[in-house]
Amino acid sequence: MKKKIISALLLTAIFGGGAAFAQKKNTGWVKLFDGKTTQGWHTYGKTGVGQGWKAENGALHLDPKAKQNDGGDLVTDKEYSNFHLKLEWKVAPKSNSGILFYVHEDPAKYQQTYSTGPEMQVLDNEGHPDGKITKHRSGDLYDLVKSSSEPVKPVGEWNKVEIISNQGKLEFVLNGVKIVSTTLWDEHWKQLIAGSKFATWQGFGTYKTGKIALQDHGDEVWYRNISIKEL
């Protein structure tokens, strides 16, 4: 009888412990970009990836010269609700791009990712015209919240970004500095939208689950080390 009990305990320890280990492993960080392919991504409203986006030298590179008429924003295959996103970006001179989230992919109703998804601006502040517009500079919650500081690195250098959204609390971190902190979907959020270019855009900033997007603004940009943790 004792042998049976011991055997049962050993089996529980082995298989139960294995299940616990698997669960722990699955609750950690997940790579959204493997550094070699565009697997896990597609062009908004399509099944594949446009010619402009290439996985090369460990980065997702948008080359406007290569895309011809086959461009568009990249979106994740998967949707996310509460998350902690990390990535790095750099831009060519005079370039504009963005990192969008809570994108609701319904191209028949919403033609672009930015029709629904708020955006962390990615920009050459000094070389692009948007750099002269308040709330349009790098790190801003585009057209909604101005970043509290600008720890952005010079054009051509990599910037480390974190976007944390948990139960409506949103934070932006740029190169280790918290630059934006706000609350989504409350009355203040509605007021921010009402005072922005998105005031009449039905559906903008309303979705609590959606896809992550990297913007094709027609300019050269690179993204790498993209990972996410669901909260």
pLDDT surpasses 80 at 10: no
Task: Dump pLDDT digits (tens) for 32-41.
Answer: 999 999 999 9
How confident is residue 67, by pLDDT bands cut at 50, 70 and 90?
Answer: confident
How confident is residue 26, by pLDDT bands cut at 50, 70 and 90?
Answer: low
Question: What mean pLDDT do residues 34-54 have?
Answer: 96
Task: Dump pLDDT digits (tens) for 94-150.
Answer: 999 999 999 999 999 999 999 999 999 999 999 999 999 999 999 999 999 999 999
Q: What pTM does this model have?
A: 0.88
Q: Are 197 and 8 in contact (CB under 8 A)?
A: no
In angstroms, the CA 179 to CA 174 distance is 7
Q: Are 135 and 145 in contact (CB under 8 A)?
A: yes
Q: Which amino acid is at 78?
A: K
Residue ranges of domains in the chain:
1-29, 32-230
In angstroms, the CA 95 to CA 77 distance is 26
Rounded to the nearest integer, the mean pLDDT of the chain is 91
Instruction: Pick 96 or 65 by higher pLDDT.
Output: 96
CATH of segment(s) 32-230: 2.60.120.560
Looking up tokens 């015209």 gives: 129
